[in-house]
Structure 1
């Protein structure tokens, strides 16, 4: 791997490829900051252009990789500033990122996001360089039953989020799972929750759901606030840059979450949404002694940011070593490789070392470029909060409508988005968090798909679900997550009673 890396730096540091890495990182940041665009659409837009311009395979992949990693950075801007996540991995960022912005700490929040993303991605790039062949063998051991057990563990991790109002969080999660079931059942052909409407036969697209729940509901809340108090209740800009002591206070969080994101990202099909959710809930269990998570805690922002970017990088491991895309975005990159008649897998490092090494080296370069680009500009981006509502509301609405229409070119998608937005507005008015809805949608869909596959492979026998050591280990970890807080509270109460009796 070190030989490939040295050769890769020789490829990535040429003037053309260095320029393409910079262009890709900049464009990716822009694509990620626009809700509904994201890395998948950014790569899909530029992939044919790169091929048409006659770029070599390694140069095209460096450009597209820069877009991917840049979009992971850019998606956090709308999450923190507007409470509108750019993709599923950014949902957890809104929980503490936007409250920080409302308190006048938008600049430090964006700065911490850049640092956490950089450290998480760097840890993952080092892991990619050192452990790619070993982890690719572990990833192959995960079948449908193991992935279903992983989803059960992820749902158990969400129990940590049910601190203040378990009933509302549970209801929101169930609503997300129900939304994931809308459409034609792929196995039986039965219509589920469609009410006979052809527009719902294919289900509710994730982009439509996330823009409706977050962007449209946020627009309605901003309009309500503008009617009540005008712009007098706008958040103050406050401090611009992150302090070193604030970063150091989150160092353990960033390292833990980076490792979690790296490991989860190597599993094909999981993605940043699972990694950020597990990292956030794990960190909340470890660090949230004062009950500040969800109210603007720096650690609650650092955890999902480090995990999500680490997961984005480690998703290249199954792609490059096995030819299996680790996420939706790497699936598009797989298409780019096949466009150049390159088959990813174990032989790629010997048949096309310039491509494999160039991509890995460009991850190092692009990560440094993105930190240098995003950290100094945090104060500039934070000034979005000072824009008056009569300008900001139409701008966010325009992004929402354009983001949905450019994906579907169907007015019905816009109507569904508006209906989902009103639904999200009602949920928020009744005190429901929207994050469990999105996580229920993502995890519920993955759990159902893998459950169906596992049962199909076993002829309907449920024994397949606990037939492997990996599955049993994940179920045991899920049970431990649910039972440990109760046991700990009982132990603390018993100690207090014993101390009282002794006194």
Structure 2
């Protein structure tokens, strides 16, 4: 099937009334959870995993994908009106977006964000259509040693670029790999780490772990951080940007689309890194003087918002073509596919073209719906900020426990959810990231199986990872990355790849004013001084 036939198949799948409904539901839920404090795409998708079991595979992934890129839109609203990043990727937007809101230009800030996100998403969809099939054809020739190298590279990049504390994240990744070994050995069938419990013979259920760490853990954290904030709703008017706004934003949107697409393809890239990189690029390329950034420059809103939405779309490239999720949200979507008995990878485009092309086509439709929703309905979405996290949390907790029980009708899964929920809450309080743990749990079986197969092919020799050209190059890059990061750490200038980009993108005054790490939940995102300003205004 060529690209044009695939596109036609995709739109035929996505344009059915049933799938159109779920595209709308997905992007609407994504926008809402992007606005509401304490929630995010990871927690929401984790809570909805049991629902996907009752849907057709293409429909389920279409809805979950809509939640993912829809949340990028919704997070902008609180960033502009509260300086409270709705999502981690919207941290940078809050710098200039909030300043524009204080100047009475909240409308143009939100409008250009919606337009830029739409363009970035569409550019990424086109890139996904062109790149993914080619990469899938190449991936067919990739063997176990290459998958080992790619899995290791993905884990390292996610822990270093996608989080604020790389060593804590590496520790969580190690825990995730350990949890993945519980159950039967994939080669010999022997039981491991079950401690005599029959319920652990098949290992831990991915849905139960994900719903515990992200669902229950995030709910407990949101309830604990319950707070009331006041948005600058009175200053939202004239949503559509002026001609001058479009002229100032044209180049940042173009650069953000390209930059976001390529960063999103990389494991660990995602919206956070792409938005930070875009903001740094605009400070160098913009015609405005440097000091205007941080004081309401529309380029500081248009570029990062475009980049983070483009990256959220292009992140589907490694998932659909290689079966390797590049971030925790994609790991959850990977889990949703495995629930349906479908394994993402090079054969997905041939075995399940309706899923592959249907998801891509749904992104075109979803971005159009988001543009229609976000420009005229900003005021309505802002009113959602009045919903108390405690009310949402209690309701979501009941849905979580009922949902996980409905999958296997097993009470043990409910205890697993509660146990990992408490663990996730404690991890939030102590600065440990649950994302690397879940991602390692997903990649663990792939990594172990490929490594064992490689050892069988080479009669136990590790030389196979160097002798194979692709694997050798990837492991060489891993070695260079580790050496470089170690040297930078010894010099006291390296914390993580993400913070390196962040310091290049923002001045010290801007970082101090923001007072938040990109990977922290939005309920913690606003420092006390900033919250007071939001209330005073």
- TM (normalized to structure 1)? 0.64
CA deviation after TM superposition for structure 1 residue 194, in Å? 2.5
Aligned partners of 1:303, 1:171: CA distance in 2, in Å? 30
| Cα separation, 2, equivalents of 1:379 and 1:450 | 51
Aligned residue among 293, 309, 317 for 2:313: 309
Cα separation, partners in 2 of 1:369 and 1:427, compared to 1, 3 Å: closer
Q: Is the 8 A contact 2:211 2:417 kept in 1?
A: yes
* 2:114–2:374 Cα contact (<8 Å) kept: yes
Equivalent residue for 2:5? 4
1:428 matched to 2:428? The reply is yes
Q: How does 1:201-280 map to 2 (within 5 A)?
A: 201-225=201-225, 233-238=227-232, 252=255, 254-261=257-264, 274=267, 277-279=268-270
Give yes or no for contact 2:155–2:436 (8 Å, CA) kept in 1: no
Q: Is the 8 A contact 2:263 2:274 kept in 1?
A: no
| Alpha carbons 1:25, 1:370 under 8 Å: kept | no
For the structure 1 residues 183 and 65, does the alpha-carbon distance in structure 2 shift closer, same or farther, using more than 3 Å as the test? closer
Determine if the alignment matches structure 1 residue 23 to structure 2 residue 21. Answer: yes
Task: Tell me how far apart the structure 2 counterparts of residues 285 and 356 of structure 1 sit (CA, whole Å).
Answer: 30
Secondary structure at the aligned position of 2:187 is classed as coil
1:323 corresponds in structure 2 to none
Distance 1:242 1:435 in 2: 37
Aligned to 1:454: 454
1:2 positional shift: 7.0
Secondary structure, aligned partner of 2:189: coil
- The question of whether the paired residues in 2 share the 8 Å contact of 1:161 and 1:169 is answered with no
Q: What does 1:12-411 align with in structure 2 at a 5 Å threshold?
A: 12=12, 17=15, 19-29=17-27, 34-36=44-46, 38=48, 44-47=53-56, 66-67=62-63, 69-73=65-69, 95-96=88-89, 118-119=118-119, 121-131=121-131, 134-158=134-158, 160-161=160-161, 165-225=165-225, 233-238=227-232, 252=255, 254-261=257-264, 274=267, 277-279=268-270, 283=274, 306-312=310-316, 364-373=364-373, 377=377, 380-381=380-381, 383-411=383-411
Aligned residues: CA RMSD: 5.3
CA shift, 1:150, in A, is: 0.9
Question: Is 1:465 the counterpart of 2:465 in the alignment?
Answer: yes
Could you tell me how far apart the structure 1 residues matched to 2:420 and 2:335 are?
Answer: 24
Aligned counterparts of 2:182 and 2:195: Cα–Cα separation in 1: 10
> Quick one: structure 1 residues 448 and 76, their matched pair in 2 at CA, closer, same or farther if it must change by over 3 Å?
farther
Runs (5+) with no aligned partner, structure 1: 49-60, 83-92, 227-232, 265-273, 290-296, 320-325, 336-342, 494-503
Q: Deviations over 1:73-115 (max 9, x none)?
A: 4576999999xxxxxxxxxx964569999xx98x999999977
Residue 89 of structure 1: aligned partner: none
Given that 2:276 and 2:304 are in contact with CA atoms closer than 8 Å, whether structure 1 keeps it comes out as no
Could you tell me how far 1:151 is from its partner in structure 2? 1.6
Q: Distance in 1 between matches of 2:472 and 2:170?
A: 25
1:347, 1:167 → 2: CA distance? 39
Deviation per CA, 1:52-73, whole angstroms, max 9, x where unpaired? xxxxxxxxx7x67744643444
> Contact conserved, 1:169 with 1:433, CA < 8 A, in 2?
yes
Distance 1:387 1:311, change over 3 A: same
* SS of residue matched to 1:462: coil
Structure 2: how far apart are the matches of 1:214 and 1:144?
A: 31
8 A Cα contact 2:120 2:306, kept in partner: no
Describe the SS at the equivalent of 2:456.
helix
The two structures have a TM-score, normalised by structure 2, of 0.61
Q: Compute the displacement of 1:348 (Å).
A: 10
> Is the 8 Å Cα contact of residues 22 and 63 (structure 2) preserved in structure 1?
yes
- How much has 1:305 moved relative to structure 2? 5.0
Deviations 1:26-77 (A, max 9, x none): 2444787754465x766653439xxxxxxxxxxxx7x677446434445769
447-456 or 479-488, which deviates more = 479-488
**Corresponding residue for 1:53?**
none
Name the structure 2 match of 1:85: none
The separation in 1 between residues aligned to 2:361 and 2:169, in whole angstroms, is: 42
Task: Name the CA shift for 1:147/1:200 in 2 (closer, same or farther; >3 Å).
Answer: same
Deviation at 1:318, TM superposition (A): 8.1
Deviates more, 1:247-256 or 1:165-174: 247-256
Q: Quote the Cα distance in structure 1 between the aligned partners of 2:152 and 2:411.
A: 37
Which 10-residue stretch deviates more, 63-72 or 189-198?
A: 63-72
1:413 aligns with 2:413: yes
Q: Is the 8 A contact 1:258 1:307 kept in 2?
A: yes
Q: Is the 8 A contact 1:8 1:360 kept in 2?
A: no
Q: 1:199 to 1:21 in 2, by over 3 A?
A: closer
Aligned residues: 425
Summarize the Cα distance change of 1:378–1:203 in structure 2 as closer, same or farther, 3 Å threshold: farther
Gap change, CA 1:348 and 1:480, over 3 Å in 2: closer
2:37 aligned partner: none
Q: What is the CA-CA distance between 1:404 and the residue it aligns to? A: 1.6
